[in-house]
Structure 1
Amino acid sequence: MTLHNLLTDLPPCAITSAERIDELLSRPGLRVERIVSTGQASPPGFWYDQAEGEWVVLLSGAAGLRFEHEDHTRLLVPGDCLDIPPHYRHRVEWTAPGTASIWLAVFYNSGSPWPA
């Protein structure tokens, strides 16, 4: 077993070209990632349309998340979490610049049977 701290080993809080994504766990039908954003957003006109479900919690920082069927951006602050169903189109409108917005994302295959 390896001990991880989700709030350490972070990239510098300067705006970089890409988010940092660390895969923490991978099992059939399940993947857990830590995503560190430092001001990134989805490209204009881009929408995530994932075949898998995603449960996400924001651990630090702030972000704006938008769903295609909604006409507003949702503000996420530390502790906010949501379950995004497969093919539920969404985008990251913004993440807080100059600070680390740390996400814990759990991707799951909703077609996989869970053990009883």
Structure 2
Amino acid sequence: MSNLFDDLPRQADAELFTELLARDGLRIERIVSTGQSTPADQPYDQEHDEWVLLVKGAARLWIEGDGERDLRPGDHLLIPARRRHRVLWTPPDEPTVWLAIHLG
């Protein structure tokens, strides 16, 4: 894939994760959401920092200690290691495209 917008699904049962680049201590991936959310009892709790950029679409995130946050294209944030978080909402009628950079 040479373009983040190639092969975007209109609908999918699960989020689509595509690794774009991996190096020692660094992984970059495209995530495509089509209405998915993270189950309340299964938040992400990663051992590494993650920087995310919302490229297309919209989303609402919950981050432990910060609460809920709405994202629109261009919004970005750093989720520190061990900070539980989850996706509360993405629109079901259009793909939401994320760029995630995993550090460490």
Tell whether the structures are fold-level matches, with TM greater than 0.5: yes
Q: TM-score scaled by structure 2?
A: 0.94
Q: Which has the higher strand share?
A: 2
Q: CA RMSD in A?
A: 1.2
1:30 matched to 2:26? The reply is yes
Which of 79, 85, 91 aligns to 1:84? It is 79
Counterpart of 1:113? none
Instruction: List, as ranges, runs of 4+ consecutive aligned residues in structure 1 with deviation greater than 4 Å.
Output: none
Counterpart of 1:75? 70
Q: Where does the alignment leave 5 or more consecutive residues of structure 1 unmatched?
A: 110-116
The one-letter code matched in structure 1 to 2:87 is V
Name the larger-Rg structure.
1
Secondary structure of the equivalent of 1:18? coil
Q: TM-score scaled by structure 1?
A: 0.85
Which of 38, 44, 50 aligns to 1:48? It is 44
Shift of 1:17: 1.7
- Distance of 1:100 and 1:75 partners within structure 2: 16
Counterpart of 1:112? none
